[in-house]
Chains A and B, each alone.
Chain A
Amino acid sequence: MVEQRTIGPVFAAKNLFKSYGGLRATDNLSLQLETGKIHALIGPNGAGKTTALSQLSGELQPDEGQVWFCGQDITRYSMPKRARMGVARSFQITAIFDDFTVAENVAVAVQSRAGHHFSFWRAVGRDKGINHRTNELLDLVGLAAFARRRAADLAHGQKRQLEIAMALALEPKVLLLDEPMAGMGPTESTQLAELLERLKQDFAILLVEHDMNIVFRLADIISVLVNGAVIASGTVEDIRENEDVQKAYLAEGY
């Protein structure tokens, strides 16, 4: 990672709007991500968290508003282009390559960074550079022992870990994580939380998450999304004590 002490946000969304017919899925959403901080985006089901994340990652275009990355307006950039620049995302519903081995899943992500995709002749499986980096990442997320296993045969929690490894392989500056703990058991969640704590100094992280314990433990800043709009944003203490939030969200039994 290039050591850069950017002052201020490395990634920012400014006044995003997105509507589907009459439904306002994103309503004047603004948020900022800073290197070394975890910004959690919480909200009840249907609040528009994934829609927001898709606009940040470039999969969806906002109707209005801008997305900025490292001082550059990237609103019109596609998801692949943003990924190559350093904005990596994970998916709420596990998205891995089922027929690849665990190592191949990570390797194809490492290759995205390494380039030379129009190399037709040399065997990628024997590429020392790619294999070395792949093994590093598998060690990091604790999947080294499963490298040769077919990805589809992994346990659910392991698949989530694999997704994290693939996102990290892009050597991003920004990590957009869509409910990385979804479907994980308590032990696995804790392990992943520990991993994110270790990683966070190098990345600007947006964490969309349902598990409030995890959010309160990890987040530096929390934004609460209700009906597509941010109704509150602040530190863990601010959000815990905010009455609007309690009414709109926490009272629902989370």
Chain B
Amino acid sequence: MVKNFSRKSWATLAIFGLLALVPPIAHAFDNAFLITMFNRALIYAIAAVGLDLIIGFGGMVSFGHAAFFGIGAYTAGILGTHAFDGSDFMFGWTGSNAALVVWPLAMLVAAFFGAIIGLISLRTSGVYFIMITLAFAQLFYFFFVSLSQYGGEDGLSLWDRNTLPGLDLYDRNTFYYLCFAILLAVWFFLSRLVASRFGRVIIGCKQNERRMRALGYDPLLYKLVAFCISAAIGGLAGALIANHSEFVSPGLLHWSRSGELMVIVILGGMGTLIGPVYGALALFLLEESLVSFTEHWQVILGPILILVVVFFRGGIVGFLTGNGKASVKSGDDHG
């Protein structure tokens, strides 16, 4: 146990250290664009770490997480549009461009819809849960496709990046390190959470819900709160990606995006929290390198994923820590 713990700590330190060094390395190679590319992986890592909370610890395999990603992004996009042209958003409010307003709001809106989706879908489990979360995500996808007021299918440009006192979000380094700090904060918060009383309850619910009920717990309540926390983190990542690409479109909510987030979690090692950071980076590097061979890079990615699932059930982190099961409390069902 102690040995595993320290190996996992090394794996954590290594990936965060590497990510911290990206900007100086990129500048050394005189390729500032690398920062922008890695920044994208960082933002996906934030959403995926949040997703790992419910997949890896809560046993809720959500196949609709892109919905929260998209909702967060559209919150930033829509508020930014009104702030830009000064038009009325709602009740005389002309939107906002301030990160301290927009980002918490993106989290709140995502958590709100997370509560609604969760209340309905958490009454099911297994394949039904996967399908219902997917169906909800599709619902939101088509909602934004038909939202012609905000670009519909064509999407919406974010004319100005959000503003944060004392920081220039247009600066590559600043924005990169801000996202990095947010990733660290989210990871740290969730690491504490899964070791807390609440964490123990959701892990217990994943293992044996009936037993939890016999012990006096109402699983739905705890699972719902975990689902909302995960949704809020997805919303925050969405607001960041909107700032990163300065563009928001229904593509962010496409079902393949939900799949991508799940792939990141599984590839990196679910139930580890740090795994998804590896997963996001690995998927991004795979994509970049495979794309140079063929535009149908997913044809190669697919088999790689299958190999990982079959041979490294603990994902990358499970492999690094020499623990195929990744963690005692991870997604291994001991079949």
On A, residues with C-beta under 8 Å from B are: 57, 59, 78-81, 83-84, 88-89, 91, 95-100, 104, 107-109, 111-113, 116-125, 127, 148, 150, 152, 166, 170
- A80 proximity list for chain B (CB < 8 A): 212-218
B329–A99 touching, CB < 8 Å: yes
For A108, give its contact among B210, B215, B218, B332 (CB under 8 Å): B215
Interface residues of B in 182-229 (CB under 8 A from A): 189, 192-193, 195-201, 203-204, 207-208, 210-218, 222, 225
A97–B207 touching, CB < 8 Å: yes
Nearest CB of chain A from residue B87's CB, rounded to whole Å: 39
Known contacts A98-B334, A99-B334; is A109 also within 8 Å of B200 by CB?
no
B213–A124 touching, CB < 8 Å: no
Nearest CB of chain B from residue A78's CB, rounded to whole Å: 7
B21: interface (CB < 8 Å): no
A95–B208 touching, CB < 8 Å: yes
Docked pose: A142 CA to B1 CA in angstroms: 24
B90: interface (CB < 8 Å): no
B192–A123 touching, CB < 8 Å: yes
Docked pose: A9 CA to B198 CA in angstroms: 36
Known contacts A80-B216, A96-B208; is A117 also within 8 Å of B201 by CB?
yes
A124–B334 touching, CB < 8 Å: no
Known contacts A97-B204, A117-B201, A118-B225; is A112 also within 8 Å of B216 by CB?
yes
Nearest CB of chain B from residue A153's CB, rounded to whole Å: 11
Nearest CB of chain B from residue A117's CB, rounded to whole Å: 5
11 A-B pairs in the complex with CB atoms less than 8 angstroms apart: A79-B214, A83-B214, A83-B216, A95-B214, A117-B198, A118-B225, A119-B198, A120-B189, A120-B196, A124-B196, A148-B1
- A78 proximity list for chain B (CB < 8 A): 213, 218
**CB-nearest residue of chain A relative to B206?**
A99
- B203 proximity list for chain A (CB < 8 A): 99-100
B328: interface (CB < 8 Å): yes
A83–B215 touching, CB < 8 Å: yes
Per-residue interface assignment for chain B, residues 156 to 179, with 1 indicating a CB less than 8 Å from any chain A CB and 0 otherwise: 000000000000000000000000
A120–B198 touching, CB < 8 Å: yes
Per-residue interface assignment for chain B, residues 1 to 27, with 1 indicating a CB less than 8 Å from any chain A CB and 0 otherwise: 100000000000000000000000000
